[in-house]
Amino acid sequence: MPTFRPDLDGLITYNPGKPIEEVSRELGIEDIVKLASNESPTEPFPEVQSAIAAAAGTVHRYPETSAYYLAEALSAHHGIERDSVWVGPGSTSLLLSASLATVRADTSVVVARPSFVMYSIAAAIAGGDVIDVPIDADHRHDPEAMAAAIRDDTVVLFYCNPNNPTGTYSPAGDIDRLVGLVPERVLILIDEAYAEYVTAPDYASAIPLALERDNVVVTRTFSKVYGLAGLRVGYAMGKPETLQALRRPQVPFATSTLAQIAAIEALRHPDRVVERVKENAIGRELLATELRGRGLAVIDSQTNFVLWRPAGDPAATASALLHEGVIVRPMGPWIRVSVGTERENRRFLHALDNVPDTTG
């Protein structure tokens, strides 16, 4: 038997939720709606699909490891320098690489609880201690409490805005306060995976801060509004020197050729993104309104999902919905449901009404 790291014995592994194919095999259900993983309910743009097909014959070659042309397209998209962009196979891989570049056994990281579980997993893989800071009464990050939790050995603070799984967001003033309170030796990694979905007028991206401060980095992804979750492509923005240090643990050829080409093409269609954001907002409001109409507690969301509390046991409710052909994600006392197409949203609500003990 090989020798393994004993400190990873208790590591919480990421649970991606059941895929459609697995549910179909297990339950024999053909018509399945997956609303558990915050994916785009619609396919990649037609032009993106054509670009992928056209490039399929090139995959016998390694991809360009620097993702030069995608970084160039992103720099033009955001109006920043190309060297201020770092591309990787999904923002999750960037979080892990950043952790490996900063965290070690005698250090700690600060995370909100609940938030994206991969922050804690990435820190634990790197050997660091995780400091959990509860979100506030409004289900939002607490900048002052997170800054106060920083220890002498803290090297990273993860901040999800908007936050997964609550769907809440921090207005620009909160981020400014946080950056002002955190020592410059601590990396502030702000995950904006759901930023494109925000419609709140007082939300502002932290990208300008990342370009000014060498201890602030912002990550984004193509897995959500652009519908490229299956290709795995994301990026980070910040000071070139900071990004250069954080990318050192990244493996070569990390982002596939097809992912790079698809992302470049996706950026050429901002009008399509605007349409998707509008459709998502309509679906999000429908789900929240209908769930509240059933007497259930719902957290206001600025993302492509809604967190709600069933009247009965969340795990049992999610299991019952699964047998109705609807996949959702139980999370503690809550359930997270992703915004789907109108048909998928209605299907979820209909299935919910068929499940006993789920309404207030």
Q: What is the pLDDT of residue 29?
A: 79
Q: What is the pLDDT of residue 13?
A: 77
Beta bridge partners of 154: 108
pLDDT in tens, 177-199: 999 999 999 999 999 999 999 99
Q: What is the pLDDT of residue 135?
A: 98
Provide the pLDDT confidence category of residue 14 given band limits of 50, 70 and 90: confident
Cα 129 vs. chain centroid, distance in angstroms?
A: 22
Residues 326, 349: Cα–Cα separation, whole Å:
10
**N-to-C CA span, the chain:** 53
Share of the chain above pLDDT 90, in %: 89
pLDDT in tens, 120-147: 999 999 999 999 999 999 999 999 999 9
Domain ranges, ordered by start, for the chain: 7-36+271-354, 57-266
Architecture of domain 57-266: 3-Layer(aba) Sandwich (3.40)
Residues 193, 91: Cα–Cα separation, whole Å:
8
Q: What is the pLDDT of residue 342?
A: 97
Evaluate whether 197 touches 338 at the Cβ level (below 8 Å): no
CATH number of 7-36+271-354: 3.90.1150.10
For 337, phi and psi rounded to 5 degrees? -120, 130
Q: What is the pLDDT of residue 7?
A: 84
For residues 149-171, give the mean pLDDT: 98
pLDDT in tens, 247-287: 999 999 999 999 999 999 999 999 999 999 999 999 999 99
SS3 content of the chain, % helix, strand, coil (to 5): 40, 15, 45
Provide the pLDDT confidence category of residue 4 given band limits of 50, 70 and 90: confident
Tracing tokens 């697995």 back to the chain, one arrives at 22
Closest CA to 108 of 186, 8, 12: 186
Q: What is the pLDDT of residue 277?
A: 98
- Show the tokens assigned to 52: 């992928």
pLDDT in tens, 227-236: 999 999 999 9
Tracing tokens 């954080």 back to the chain, one arrives at 246
Q: What is the pLDDT of residue 329?
A: 96
pLDDT in tens, 49-100: 999 999 999 999 999 999 999 999 999 999 999 999 999 999 999 999 999 9
Contacts 24+ apart (CB under 8 A), 199-204: 199/277, 199/281, 199/302, 200/169, 200/171, 200/302, 202/171, 202/172, 202/173, 203/162, 203/169, 203/171, 203/172, 203/302, 204/171, 204/172, 204/175
Q: What is the pLDDT of residue 19?
A: 76
For residues 144-152, give the mean pLDDT: 98
Phi and psi based region of residue 138 (left: phi greater than 0; alpha: psi -120 to 50; beta: remaining): alpha
Tracing tokens 């400091």 back to the chain, one arrives at 131
